[in-house]
Chain A
Amino acid sequence: MMIRLLLLTLLVTVSAVSAVSAVSAVQAVESDPIQSPMWDYTRQQFIGSAPYHFDERVKVLLPAFAENPTQVPLQIDATALAGDIERIVVWADLNPIQHIFTYYPHPDVIPKVSLRFKVQQGTAVRAAVLTQSGVWHVGSAYLDAAGGGCTTPSTTGNGSPFWESHLGETQSRSFPLASKGGVRFKFRVIHPMDTGLADAIPEFYIQQVILQNAKKESLARLELSQPVAENPVISFDLRDDLNDQAGQYQLWMRDNNGNEFEKAL
């Protein structure tokens, strides 16, 4: 009888302890604001076990619905964390290839970047900003989509031989930024950006984009993945005091076939 009572007490204690630890575990892990089923998986993939929290200051601008699933506009604005950023990793939870791009902004650059990407179905989109203290700040937004963007052949790559004679042709222009000085570089490069997921079309996409100043310092570096939309249109924002050597900026890109493209901005 005594032993039974003891066992019972023990059991109750154990369950009470485990209940407490469960509660503290819940407190330690913030729940995903989007409640995406893939959050744990993609977090492991891109952040690992590093500390993180959801941070609304990391702005992920998306339309509510992907009107054209092969050209979804996406803008990441981490200006609130400017100067403290190691890198920004951007992905779509439910894309077959999740990673969209990683951005390494120079500390003097305004950490705001825009481009367009392909979406396969409605998904959470994340921008995880790694700060110098080693903590990730995660911004999220949800994009609704009818889908199919990743498995649709590119229009220039497959539908016409246009890209073959224009591959890597780059147009660019700078624009003064309206708010508190600064300059925006926007460029467009002809490239099919094939994902490898459309039937019988191998992956063929630009992997690296670097914006250098006259001293060959990298001001902004992008690592792109297959979901970036064909004929990418990308914009970087620089602070005004960096723009004292107009015409001295150089854009350099390389695709996964080793083609390099350069353009003076």
Chain B
Amino acid sequence: MKSLFAVFLLVLCSSVYSAPLQYNLTAREIAKDTWVVEGKTEDFSPANGGNIVNTAFVVTGDGVVLIDTGPSLRYGTELRQLIGSVTDKPILYVLNTHHHPDHFLGNQAFQDSPIYALPETGKLIAQQGNAFSENMYRLVGDWMRSTEVHLPGQPLSVSQLKLGQHRFRFISMTGHAGADLVVLDETTGVLFTADMVFYQRALTTPHTPDLKQWIADLKRLETLDFKLLVPGHGPVSEGRVAIVQTHAYLSWLDKRLSQAAEQGLSMNEVIELPLDKHFDQLAVARKEYVRSVAHLYERYENAMF
């Protein structure tokens, strides 16, 4: 009986502790040739391994265009296998939409493909990438094993690309991270906004140059002709609904911080304020609001003097 129990314990331990960490990524075909790997609408945690981001790839007749590489080498490796299970075509373009860690730390798995990013994004990854990587080890732990910063080697200098039957437009913006790449597949009408748009998950603001700049960028996005929108975080949606939500949240946040500064509130008092009822159902709403106050309130406060 005792030995049976010991065996049971052994099985339990080995299943809990020595099971390899796996994201079990799956790709969903949302339009012709177009696959999205959807992350959770959570914050980074040891449970999700940093898989909170959407990556996507388009299989053109000539080869694959990959948009973002995920938060770790392990994610990148699984993503590469996933692409390989869909197509035998080579990966011709890897794009890093911006310099946040969940969008480029999978680059190592794609070292034999050219990796493109806006020139400013390349600079920012070179400056801050290692600090981001260290922070990710702290936040998600062993999932990050062997992950190192692999810089995007190719500055993206074109605004159009024709590959196979697909015509892509590259749109350079700054609102979310200081350098943000938006990709429009004009052939399928799919808009890949990366973190310029969040949907059903509260947005993050650590490197926004200005909320008003972000809002101005969104107004440009609203004029584009597209059918489906793939946001950086949150579900794929039809039409402009995700842009409208992001826009509304940014406008509310901007107004909230202005009014609080005008009333002379301290940063702590702003943090304690309730969220607008339109946004308190968004995933991680309270946490991201508190972070945004920390990132941005000082600017509004200084403007009041």
Q: Tell me if B's interface is mostly helix, strand, loop or mixed.
A: helix
Contact with A along B10-25 (1 / 0, CB 8 A): 0000000000000000
Q: Which of A114, A171, A188 contacts B266 (CB 8 A)?
A: A114
> Of all chain A residues, which has the CB nearest B135?
A146
**Chain B, Cβ-Cβ closest to A73:** B267
- On whether the beta carbons of B138 and A146 are closer than 8 Å, the reply is yes
CA–CA, A206 and B173, complex, Å: 41
* Chain A 206-241 per-residue mask, 1 if CB under 8 angstroms from chain B, else 0: 000000000000000000000000000101000000
Structural contact, B295 and A61, CB atoms closer than 8 A: no
Known interface pairs A63-B271, A67-B291. Does A235 touch B266 (Cβ–Cβ under 8 Å)? yes
A67 CB contacts on chain B under 8 angstroms: 206, 290-291, 294-295
Within 8 A of A (CB), among B258-299: 263-264, 266-269, 271-272, 290-291, 294-295, 298
Query: When the two chains form their complex, are residues B266 and A75 in contact, meaning their CB atoms are under 8 A apart?
Result: yes
Instruction: List residues of chain B with CB within 8 A of the CB of A74.
Output: 268
Q: List A contacts of B263 (CB < 8 A).
A: 175, 178
Tell me if B86 is interfacial: C-beta within 8 Å of chain A. Answer: no
Least CB distance from B43 to A in Å reads 11
In the complex, whether B304 has a CB less than 8 A from a CB of chain A is yes
In the complex, what residues of A have CB within 8 A of residue B294's CB?
Answer: 63, 67-68, 71, 73
Closest 10 CB pairs of A and B: A175-B264, A73-B267, A171-B305, A67-B294, A114-B266, A61-B268, A75-B268, A73-B268, A184-B264, A67-B291
CA distance A175 to B291 in the complex (A): 25
A64 within 8 A of partner (CB)? yes
Sample of 9 more A-B contacts, CB < 8 Å, known A67-B290, A71-B298: A63-B294, A64-B290, A65-B290, A67-B206, A68-B294, A73-B266, A146-B138, A173-B305, A235-B266
A-B contacts, 20 of them at CB < 8 A, read A61-B268, A62-B268, A63-B294, A64-B290, A67-B290, A67-B295, A68-B295, A71-B294, A71-B298, A73-B271, A114-B268, A172-B305, A173-B305, A174-B264, A175-B264, A186-B264, A186-B301, A188-B302, A188-B305, A235-B264
Output the nearest chain A residue to B291 by Cβ-Cβ distance: A67
Tell me which residues across on chain B come within 8 A of A75, comparing CB atoms.
266, 268-269
Bound: A114/B272 CA distance, A: 14
Q: How far is the CB of A135 from chain B (nearest CB, A)?
A: 26
CB-based A-B contact count at 8 angstroms: 59
Q: Chain A residues near B138 (CB, 8 Å)?
A: 146
Is the Cβ of A61 less than 8 Å from the Cβ of B272? Answer: yes
- Chain A, residues 177-189, CB within 8 Å of chain B (1/0): the string is 0100000101110
Across the interface, which residues of B come within 8 angstroms of A186, CB to CB?
264, 301, 305
Q: Evaluate contact between A233 and B298: CB separation under 8 angstroms.
A: yes
B133 shortest CB reach to chain A, Å: 13
Inter-chain contacts of A68 with B (CB < 8 A): 294-295
Q: Are B295 and A114 in contact (CB under 8 A)?
A: no
Number of interface residues of B (CB under 8 A): 20
B269: nearest chain-A partner, CB-CB: A75
Q: For A126, what are the chain B residues with a Cβ–Cβ distance below 8 Å?
A: none
- Which A126-159 residues have a C-beta within 8 angstroms of B? 146
Of all chain B residues, the one with the shortest Cβ separation from A62 is: B268
Quick one: which of B263, B264, B301, B305 has the most chain A CB within 10 A?
B264
Given A73-B294, A146-B135, A171-B305, is A114 in contact with B264 using a C-beta cutoff of 8 Å?
no
Contact A63 B290 (CB under 8 A): yes
Which residues of A lie under 8 Å from residue B295 when comparing CB positions?
67-68
CB contacts (< 8 Å) of B264 on chain A: these are 173-175, 184, 186, 235
Closest Cβ–Cβ distance, residue A159 to chain B (whole Å):
13
- CB < 8 Å neighbour of B301 from A61, A146, A178, A233: A233
Query: Does A116 lie at the interface of the complex (its beta carbon under 8 Å from any beta carbon of B)?
Result: yes
C-alpha gap A68/B269 in the complex (Å): 17
* Most chain B CB neighbours (cut-off 10 Å) among A62, A71, A73, A188: A73
Among residues 4 to 39 in chain A, which have CB atoms less than 8 Å away from a CB atom of chain B? Answer: none
Bound-state CA distance A156–B22 (Å) is 44
For window 135-150 of B, CB contacts with A under 8 Å fall at: 135, 138
- Most A CB contacts (10 A, CB to CB) among B272, B304, B305 go to B305
| Bound-state Cα–Cα, A187 to B305, Å | 8
Looking across the interface, which residue of chain A has its beta carbon closest to that of B302?
A188
Q: How far, in whole Å, are A68 and B268 apart by their CA atoms in the complex?
A: 14
Chain B's nearest CB lies how many Å from the CB of A178?
Answer: 7
Which of chain A's residues have a CB closer than 8 A to the CB of B302?
Answer: 171, 188
Contacts of A233 in B (CB 8 A): 298, 301
The interface centre, meaning the residue of A63, A116, A174 with most chain B CB atoms within 10 A of its CB, is A63
Interface centre among B272, B290, B294, B301 (most CB of A within 10 A): B294
**B286–chain A nearest beta-carbon distance, Å:** 10
**Complex CA distance for A62 and B298, rounded to whole angstroms:** 16
Residues in B neighbouring A175, C-beta threshold 8 A: 263-264
Closest-CB distance, A79 to chain B (whole angstroms):
13
CB distance from A118 to the nearest CB of B (A): 14
Complex Cα distance, B289 from A64, in Å, reads 12
Q: Chain A contacts of B269 at CB under 8 A?
A: 61, 75, 114
